[in-house]
């Protein structure tokens, strides 16, 4: 999707203000603005001196609709859709960056003492579904360096809360991935 925003950038290149001008998905304007405010760009210069700048900025991001993995595929699916008159539910998939902008509460994972003692560290990547109420469910591990880190990451992420994602003005379930990093000091 393409989105257009008017941004103000300071002399260091940090985006200080962002006002969405248009978007293919109006429901994502707040999330896009939140992400833009985290960006740092190459500073603008006039005669070699950094200056503040305002400009329209077009950027591209993607969300995808995918057939829900729990639904049967192929002819059986189309036959059941025809027989019942219903279309199989679609799952909205958003990027981890967009997902991050919907996060409202994220208790910190506990670093397992056993993993700390054994100097185990690394990144746990989880796939999950966020339901209409903003609760993480169907959490699955994609990669992990250790089971104790996986268990701690899942325990923490299951307590995380998100703003509901809206599609056409109604809250919907959506899917994404999260990374939980465990690093020793």
| Domains and their CATH numbers in the chain | 2-61 (no CATH), 64-182 (3.30.2420.10)
Is pTM beyond 0.75? Reply is no
Mean pLDDT of 177-182: 94
pLDDT tens-digit map of 81-139:
444 444 445 568 888 888 888 899 999 999 999 999 999 999 999 999 999 999 999 99
> Residue 57 and residue 11: Cα distance in Å, rounded?
17
Contact 5, 22 (CB under 8 A): no
End-to-end Cα separation, the chain, in angstroms: 40
Contact 153, 180 (CB under 8 A): yes
> Could you tell me the CA-to-CA distances from 34 to 18, 102, 111, 171 in Å, in that order?
8, 9, 29, 20
Would you tell me how many other CB atoms lie within 10 Å of the CB of residue 76?
10
Strand, helix or coil at 93?
strand
Low-confidence winner among 10-24, 76-90, 146-160, 169-183 (lowest mean pLDDT) = 76-90
Q: Which of 166, 40, 160, 28 is nearest to 97 (CA)?
A: 28
Query: If pLDDT is split at 50, 70 and 90, which confidence band does 2 have?
Result: low
Q: Which of 33, 48, 37, 47 is nearest to 10 (CA)?
A: 37
């Amino acid at each position: 999707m393409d989105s257009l925003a008017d941004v103000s950038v300071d002399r260091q290149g940090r985006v200080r203000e962002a006002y969405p001008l248009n978007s293919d998905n109006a429901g994502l304007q707040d999330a896009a603005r939140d992400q833009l405010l985290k960006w740092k760009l190459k500073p603008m210069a006039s005669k070699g001196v950094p200056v503040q700048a305002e400009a329209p900025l077009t950027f591209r991001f993607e969300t995808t609709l995918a057939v829900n993995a729990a639904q049967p595929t192929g002819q059986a699916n189309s036959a059941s859709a025809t027989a019942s008159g219903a279309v199989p539910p679609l799952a909205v998939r958003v990027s981890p960056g967009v997902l991050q902008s919907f996060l409202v509460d994220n208790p910190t994972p506990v670093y397992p003492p056993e993993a700390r003692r054994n100097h185990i560290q690394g990144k746990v990547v989880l796939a999950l579904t966020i339901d209409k109420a903003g609760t993480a469910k169907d959490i699955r591990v994609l990669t992990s360096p250790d089971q104790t880190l996986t268990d701690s990451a899942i325990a923490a992420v299951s307590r995380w809360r998100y703003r509901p994602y809206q599609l056409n003005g109604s809250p919907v379930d959506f899917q994404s991935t999260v990374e939980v990093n465990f690093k020793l000091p």
